[in-house]
Amino acid sequence: MLAYLKKVVHAWNSKDRHSGASGYEEDPPLALSGELTDNVNTCKAILGSANMDVIIREFSFGREQRFRCALIYINGMVNITVVNQHIVQPLLYGDPSALAAAGASPVEWMKAAMLSVGYLKEVAHMDEVVDECLAGNTVLLLQDEKRALVVGTQGWEERSIQEPLTEAVVRGPHEGFTESLGTNITMLRRKIRHPNLTLESMKIGRYTKTAVCVVYLKGVVNPKLIEEVRLRLKRIKIDGIFESGYIEQLIEDAPYSPFATIDNSERPDVVAAKILEGRAAIFIDGTPFALTLPMLFIEGFQSPEDYYTRPYYASLIRLVRFLSFIIAISGPAIYVALTNFHQELIPTPLLISIARAKEGTPFPSLVEALGMGVVFEIIREAGVRLPRPIGQTISIVGALVIGQAAVSAGLIGAPVVIMVAVTSICSFVAVSLNEAGAVIRLTALLLAAFLGGFGLVSGFLLLLIHLAAIRSFGVPYLSPAAPLNIRDLKDSLIRAPLWLMHTRPRMTGGYNLRRMSPETGPPSPPAEERQK
């Protein structure tokens, strides 16, 4: 059935590609002319002269006002202080006559002695002029010059650096990425202060032209991984990119799988640690979430705090997360299978309690579990969307009131409420697997309701086969468990001491395995103590 759906989707995509309706054929770039008036009129036609935020100022400067130029920028996207004090003022009050007499072109002497800004760039095509203006820079057009000068003047309101809400920790850095690409890159460079940290930027989106940056550590990452990332990003032809989820869904390996094959994080320390393991990161302007790839299934049970605490407690917490995920995807299904098909497996006192609680309820176990599951999802969604003080009240009070009222009215049994509540709590322990867990939980519940334990076991067997078949940029999703790599198991369900993890994971950092000296570790006892 899944193969048939893939063929249908592929056929529709092929039909769209051959229909000629894509509209993504790019026109040849329009070169700037030496006539200032023509260039200004073209800019007005493209940017829209009626737009109130498009500022185009024409003026003359120099001795006897012999030089004419036009200043173009978008109001609200530039730092107006930089524009006034470092562009307009030097041009109006400066004297470029000596430089002009020496034979230098206006662009050259403006770069050399007039403009006191850090970022200057020359462009020769109209599309580059428009793109730079829309990016928040200021463009200078000059008479008798077929080149324009781009001045870096970006400046708009940004959200301050705060602790990430989705990855809060007790011990560790309490800073998270923001919506500014430049700020995020700076935070990452503060973590990895090495010249091999490489950034490759590109723009994606026909209309949004969103800045996307691929970050990796040269000499550690596998070059084939970077080549594959570049290829997949260049294939994207879309109107706009507004969040990292767009990129994730357009380049992932298993689009029909409920499991994500590209991870995301808004913590600089997490992204830096994965880059040091030989992974690549993708930063998108306008979102605090950075993508990291390849991704392994075991990452859903790891937390940055695991590496900041002692290994024994970290290993225990990882096992708790794994147990919580098992309960989250199989709890209601096991309850329905036991009460409907395998009552002999339930201890007699517990079976009597369940039967007493279900006495007089009008619905079967499947309807009860589905109904309460839907109600809890509605309450959770309402708590997320409402303002935080009201949302917390709705989540807690709503769940208690509705559950107690349903049991008191005899609509459902108390064991179902307990099971759904425990399942909902466990589903939030492994947050990155929450979406996949919801789909698996519903599927397992239907299999258990119609086929009992046989359906449940068959479903989980198919799930394991599916997980073993997934790849994330060529890396097996279940590694290091399948294929088995005993050396990499030291950072899987348990977390070995840091001084034992001398090498990077073989599947992600095999290009450069060594990351720690073998001598690194706790000091040995002195010789006299060893002799005692």
Residue-wise pLDDT for 363-401, tens only, equals 888 888 888 888 887 877 777 777 766 666 666 666 667
Is 206 domain-assigned?
A: yes
Total domains present in the chain: 3
Q: Has residue 340 been placed in a domain?
A: yes
Q: Domain boundary at 469, 494, 509, which?
A: 469
Same domain, 321 and 365: yes
Question: pLDDT at position 48, please?
Answer: 81
Is it the case that residue 10 has pLDDT exceeding 70? no
Q: Determine, yes or no, domain membership for 160.
A: no
Instruction: Give pLDDT, residue 5.
Output: 42
Tokens 């120099």 sit at which residue?
62
- pLDDT for position 504: 85
Residue 145 pLDDT grade (very low, low, confident, very high; cuts 50, 70, 90): confident
Output the average pLDDT for the chain.
Answer: 83
Q: How far apart are CA 386 and CA 388, in angstroms?
A: 6
> Could you give the C-alpha distances from 210 to 206, 249, 287, in angstroms and in order?
9, 16, 11
Which pLDDT value is given to residue 185? 94
- Shared domain check, 193 and 121: no
Classify residue 409 as exposed, middle or buried by CB count within 10 Å of its CB (0-12, 13-18, 19+).
exposed
Lowest mean pLDDT among 93-97, 237-241, 438-442, 473-477: 93-97
Residues 326 and 463 in one domain: yes
Burial of 310 (0-12, 13-18, 19+ CB in 10 A): exposed
Residue 98's pLDDT is 57
Last residue of a domain, one of 469, 487, 512: 469
Which among 46, 6, 8 has a CA at the least distance from the CA of 27? 46
Sheet order of strands, 197-204 included: 197-204, 210-217, 280-284, 290-293, 263-265
Tokens matching residue 432: 């990155």
Average pLDDT of span 41-63:
83
> What does the pLDDT average to over 465-492?
89
Q: Say what the pLDDT of residue 270 is.
A: 93
pLDDT single digits (tens) 89-104: 888 887 666 555 556 6
Position 316 confidence tier, pLDDT thresholds 50, 70, 90: very high
Are both 145 and 102 inside the same structural domain?
Answer: yes
Whether 269 and 337 map to the same domain: the answer is no
Note the pLDDT of residue 468. Answer: 92
Q: Identify the pLDDT of residue 20.
A: 46
Range(s) of the domain holding residue 369: 311-469
Lowest mean pLDDT among 438-447, 484-493, 519-528: 519-528
pLDDT > 90: what percent of the chain?
30
pLDDT(45) > 90: no
Same domain for 415 and 319: yes
Residue 421 · residue 380 · CB < 8 Å: no
How does pLDDT run across 294-309, given as a tens digit for each residue? 999 999 898 888 899 8
As a whole number, mean pLDDT of residues 208-232 equals: 92
Please check whether residues 59 and 131 belong to one and the same domain: yes
DSSP letters for 429-486: TSGGGHHHHHHHHHHHHHHHHHHHHHHHHHHHHHHHHHHHH-EETTEETTTTTTTT-G
291 & 365 share domain: no
**350-377: b or e for each residue (b if 16 or more CB lie within 10 Å)?**
eeeebeebbeebeeebbebbbbbbebbe
Q: For residue range 20-40, what is the model confidence (pLDDT) as tens digits?
A: 444 555 667 788 888 888 888
Nearest-angstrom CA–CA distance, 386 and 393: 10
Same domain, 282 and 376: no
The predicted pLDDT at position 235 comes to: 93
Domain boundary among 133, 151, 169: 151
Q: Say what the pTM is.
A: 0.85
Beta-carbon contacts of residue 520 (< 8 Å; ≥ 6 apart): 499, 502
Stronger pLDDT, 128 or 112, i.e. the higher one: 128
Q: Is 23 left (phi over 0), alpha (psi -120 to 50) or beta?
A: left
Q: What is the mean pLDDT of residues 181-197?
A: 92
Residues 130, 82: one domain? yes
Residue 516 lies in a domain: no
**Taking 60 as the threshold, does the pLDDT of residue 7 lie above it?**
no
Answer yes or no: is 56 within a domain: yes
Give yes or no: residues 257 and 222 share one domain: yes
Inside any domain, residue 477: no
Residues 289 and 326 placed together within one structural domain of the fold: no
Q: Is the pLDDT of residue 126 over 70?
A: yes
Greater model confidence, 231 or 92: 231
- Distance (Å, rounded) from C-alpha 518 to C-alpha 19? 60
Q: What is the pLDDT of residue 415?
A: 85
Neighbours of 378 (CB within 10 A): 12
